[in-house]
A and B are shown apart, each in its own frame.
Chain A
Amino acid sequence: MAHPSDRVYSKEHEWVVVDGDVATIGISSFAQDQLGEVVYVDLPSVGDELTVGDSFGEIESVKSVSELFAPVSGEITEVNSALDDSPETVNADPHEAGWMVKVALSDAGELDALMSAGDYDAFITEG
């Protein structure tokens, strides 16, 4: 369950990969394991504005519901609509095919507040 080092992580267990000024957001392998088998993913629409720290959707497993919290701010440019039909992709491939939204970053400085893979691993071990 290694967390890839090509991205940064939030304390709410989202990951962010940046390519130019577009950030792709998903949830960590640790988070999907804690949730259990994902059955619904409720995401915003293209054009919606994310504000860092705000809830932007929810993810539901048989036993629990978790809110998704924006790790960065910006306008949504793409949504992974494949998760509507195959929410289990979040469990099977949380760091790649299980991505959730892409965002045009409004403040790249927000990335500085996020953790490296090593720091995130330490964070979840501390509980």
Chain B
Amino acid sequence: MSDALKRTPLYDEHLALGARMVPFAGWEMPVQYAGIIEEHRAVRSSVGIFDVCHMAEFRIFGFGAFDFLQRMLTNDLARISELGSAQYTLMLDAGGHIIDDLIVYHTGDLEYLIIANASNAETDFAWLSEHAPDDIEMVDESERTGLIAVQGPEALRIVRELAGADWLAPARFHIGDAVLDTLPALVARTGYTGEDGVEIICRAQDAPILWRALLSFGEVTPAGLGARDTLRLEMGYPLYGSDMDRTIDPISAGLGWVVPKDKQDYIGASPVAEVRARGPKTKLVGLVVAGAIPRPGMNVLHGGTVVGKVASGSFSPTLETGIATAYVPVDLAAQGTELAVEVRKKTLTAKVVKTPFVSSTSLSA
């Protein structure tokens, strides 16, 4: 693997905005502009835009596309038979462990679009290619594709300003086309913040023009990876690499809802059925910790014994307290259970709570 960090088409925009750049999954990405908390609050109260061009886009088409993806992915693809609909799903290895979490969009007749994590782009494409039958074509469109997330209660209103008054916004978890400020794009009503909003899929070279067009609205705030992380964690959305990886099964991760019980013929199905039958040993729970920020890798204790480690952990700008996720033994996973987190020299009380940590957003309204 090369040491050189990749840059998105929006790299120069970030520098011009004074962003603090950090390495992330092989990319040089903005972690913050004005400040994580400020950006977080802008998304919860108005609208923020995120450069997510680093994410991977694969297009899969052909007569065998449905059967192929139905075998590769855990969720039931028949649920998105309607053109333009989308679903959250997982790709598992033969042992039932998570290769990646993805969104698959039904973009056309015999055609699907997958958006995958940047950190898994190569692994995913190789795994899919390895299993691809002769009757499909698969194209990695990541290089030539830009992706901008527009998120917040005012997001749809802003996008409509660019798309024109006649534009029909796609419904939640749907995708449609649009012409934004003369530029062709796909607009997906999906996101990773817990707010209403869209993700704009466009030609890579058009991304800076759209970015600037969006920023021309006074209520739009550029938001970095820092805010993206606090926003998704408040919603209890799992992050690949922190909350799930090649050692974790979907049931333990609390993702049984994207692995329908009656679906059988996908890769990883039998080990998942076994975990379901005997019950998982550990479960991913939400923790609230006051007094310091619980950070990934810190020990989780019960009665002085280490029972797990923090998977994701940060500060919740909405609740103004530390929040975390951790895998703990199932008998300690009940809501209200008192655990502790070892934060450097201190041991702080950590209470198991139901996720999402924050339940009132523009999506719940």
Contact = CB atoms under 8 A, between A and B. Distances in A.
Interface centre among A42, A58, A61, A62 (most CB of B within 10 A): A62
B193 interface: no
Contacts of B314: 62
Given A62-B315, A63-B226, A36 B292 contact: no
B235 interface: no
B38 interface: yes
A39 B320 CA distance: 8
Given A62-B230, A62-B315, A36 B293 contact: no
Interface string A55-66: 000101111010
A: contact size bracket: 10 to 19
B31 interface: yes
A33 B239 CA distance: 28
A39 B37 CA distance: 10
Contacts of B230: 62
A63 B344 CA distance: 16
Contact of A36 (B32, B291, B344): B32
Interface residues of B, number: 17
A42 B292 contact: yes
A60 B290 CA distance: 13
B339 interface: no
B292 A62 contact: no
B292 A63 contact: no
A97 B293 CA distance: 24
Interface string B218-262: 000000001000100000000000000000000000000000000
B32 A39 contact: no
B291 A62 contact: no
Nearest to B227: A62
A62 B293 contact: yes
Given A36-B32, A39-B315, A60 B37 contact: no
A36 B39 CA distance: 12
Nearest to B22: A63
B36 interface: yes
Contacts of B315: 39, 62
Contact of B35 (A36, A60, A65): A36
B293 A37 contact: no
Nearest to A39: B315
Interface in B303-345: 314-315, 317, 320, 344
A40 B293 contact: yes
Interface centre among B37, B291, B314, B344 (most CB of A within 10 A): B37
Contacts, number: 35
Contacts of B292: 40, 42, 60
A40 B290 CA distance: 10
Contacts of A62: 36-37, 226, 230, 293, 314-315, 317
Contacts of A40: 291-293
A79 to B, nearest CB: 16
Nearest to A63: B226
A52 B160 CA distance: 59
Contacts of B317: 62
Contacts of A60: 292-293
Contacts of B38: 37
B291 A37 contact: no
A61 B314 CA distance: 10
B309 to A, nearest CB: 17
Interface in A44-71: 58, 60-63, 65
Nearest to B290: A40
Given A60-B292, A62-B226, A62-B315, A37 B37 contact: yes
Interface string B200-223: 000000000000000000000000
A81 to B, nearest CB: 14
29 contacts: A36-B35, A36-B36, A36-B226, A37-B35, A37-B36, A37-B38, A39-B37, A39-B293, A39-B315, A39-B320, A40-B291, A40-B292, A40-B293, A58-B344, A60-B292, A60-B293, A62-B36, A62-B37, A62-B226, A62-B230, A62-B293, A62-B314, A62-B315, A62-B317, A63-B31, A63-B36, A63-B226, A65-B293, A65-B344
Given A61-B36, A63-B226, 6 more contacts: A36-B32, A37-B35, A37-B37, A42-B292, A62-B37, A63-B36
| 3 tightest A-B CB contacts, nearest first | A62-B36, A37-B37, A37-B35
